[in-house]
Structures are given as structure tokens and as C-alpha cells.
Structure 1
Amino acid sequence: MEKESVLEAVYGLFLQEGIRGMRMRTIAGKLGITRHELCSLFPGKWELVAQCVEYGLQRLNAVLDAACASSRTPVEVLLRSAVTAYDAFGAMSWQFIEDIAYYPAAVDAVNGERRLLRKRQRSVFRQCVEEGYLFGMEYSELLEQFFWPDFKTESRHRDAALRVLFTIVRGSATERGWQETERVRRLMGLSC
């Protein structure tokens, strides 16, 4: 197996079954390779976990970039990237999130990604204000305070989180921004 294929498969295993209970031998068995083959690609579990988390974050960034590239307006970028990020982190099991705490490099990578997402959202929010879709940056602070802290939870809270997202964006929208928000909501097939 190639390293990229192993990372993809192990990342999927970690998401489903957690990290802590997995030994290199168990992982190799689930992949249908020997422990020796796995260790030739990754010297140890610490390295494997760190690279799997990086792999997952790279996938998230690729999905975010694609969502942003296909967006017509900054409002669409704002909403698509927020929903995409929420869904990506919501797909992580609690076991996976809890297990990451034992791997400092993985924690640093996830926290760094969260900071980058927030920074990216602030920048897009500012662009929405500058282009006349939204009223002011103070609403960006509301978004950070009420939407982003919840985005790391399981997707069972998705409807409530998306209602918060759309309520804040609609509440800060000009007429033009309101119309664009509704267009994007319908385009994405969201009921909030």
C-alpha cells in the first residue's frame, strides 16, 4: 500500500474507532498489511496519528477551497465555508476528539486549524461588510462567540448551530445581503 492510501484508511479507522485503543499491529491487521509494512511507512503510532490528523486537515482545506472557489459572492463563501467546517468537525466521533488529547502534535494541528478557520471567516465577513452585504464587524464577534465554539461538537446539533449561523448573518445583513443569504440557503438545501 502507498503511504497516502494508508493515511486515508487509518484516518477513517481513527474517526470510527478512536485512536487510543489502536495498536500498530491492530491497525496493520485492519488494513490487511503486516505491522512491519506499517512501521516502514510510520516509525510509530505518534507519527502515524500526527500525519493522519494533518491528512484530515488537508482534506478539509481542499473541500473549503473548492466550496469557496465555486461561490459567487463573499456571503456564499462565508456560509459555505462555515457549514463545510461544521460538518467536517461534526463527522469526528467524540472518541476521536477525546483520544487526540493524548497526542500533543495532533492537538496543536487541530487548534491551529480552528484558529485559521476563524481568521478566514473574519476576513470573509469583512469582505461582506465592505461589499455592502453585511452591516458591521461587530456581528462577526457574535458569530465567533455563538457559532464557532459549537462547531467541534457532533453533528446532532447541526440544525441548531446552522440556525445560529443564519440568524446572525441575516441579522447583520443589508437588504442585498438578506437576499443573497436566502439564495445560498436554498441553493444548499438548508431549512434554517
Structure 2
Amino acid sequence: LVGFSFLREFGVLLAAILLAGRSASAFAAQIGSMKSNEEIDAIRTLGLSPIELLVLPRVLAMLITLPILTFVGMLSGIAGGLVVCVLALDISPTMFFNIMARDIAVSHFLVGLSKAPVFAFIIAVIGCLEGFKVSGSAQSVGEHTTSSVVQAIFMVILLDAIAALFFMEMGW
């Protein structure tokens, strides 16, 4: 149960929710404050694209970061399950890993890891989009920063549910 749940769902979901709270808000606040200070207009005046300059690096950073954090989350969850099995259930580490190797297919790891880039893209785009929606005041920056976190977490949970149904129907 530990291997199945952390490889397939919890590792990617926990990492994505944490990054949605941390990075989506940071992206929205950074871009929003740039918009309120008219720095975005200055970028356009220089003939540069704000999308290429501000959005693409953030999206690429998230596409690299979230799969790595998902992998760390999977390992941490399995390590936590191992500790519980050793201390509370008197299952040796060797037996734990033998059961994991016997019962948990590599496809569960791949299913969990395949969700990470999709979640990363959605989180980054929502954070940046909310930053561009800022109207110019500090209050607007705060509202859109909060909105980016709520929307990103909601979309991550919704997409995870849809992915779970899809993978279940496909037999993966």
C-alpha cells in the first residue's frame, strides 16, 4: 500500500501542492509587482516579449523542478513506510524491499512521474497568468497572488483525479 500510493499518487500530489502554494504565488507576485510598476510596459517598449522573458524561464524551471521533487517525495514516502514497518510491524527492511519488488510494478512509478510535468506546466502558467492580470495597485497584487494559489491547487487536484480515472480505465 505504501509503495503503490506514494509512487502513483502521494509523491507527485504532495510535491505539486507545495509548489503550487510556493511558486504560483511567487510568480504572480513578481510579475504582478512588475506590472504595477509598469516594468512590463518598459519591456514591451524595448521590443522584447514579456512572455519569452518572464514566463518561459519560469515554466522551464518548473518542468525541471517538479519531477525531481516528485522523485524525492516518492523516496521519502517509501522511507517513511519502511520506518513504520520496521518499528511498528516488525517487518525487516529486507522483507519490505522484497515485497515491494514483488508486488509493485515499475509502471506505478512511471504513472506518478508522468503527472509531474503536466502539473508543473499548469502551476507555472496559472501563476504567471494571474501576475499579468494585476491592475496596478498593491491590493490587486495580493488578490491575484491569493487567486493563483487557489486556482493552481484546485487544478492540480482536479487533474490528478482525471488522471487517476484515465489510468484506471486504461488498466495502467
> TM-score category by the smaller chain?
0.3 to 0.5
What TM-score, normalized to structure 1?
0.39
**TM-score, structure 2 normalization:** 0.43
- Higher share of residues assigned helix: 2
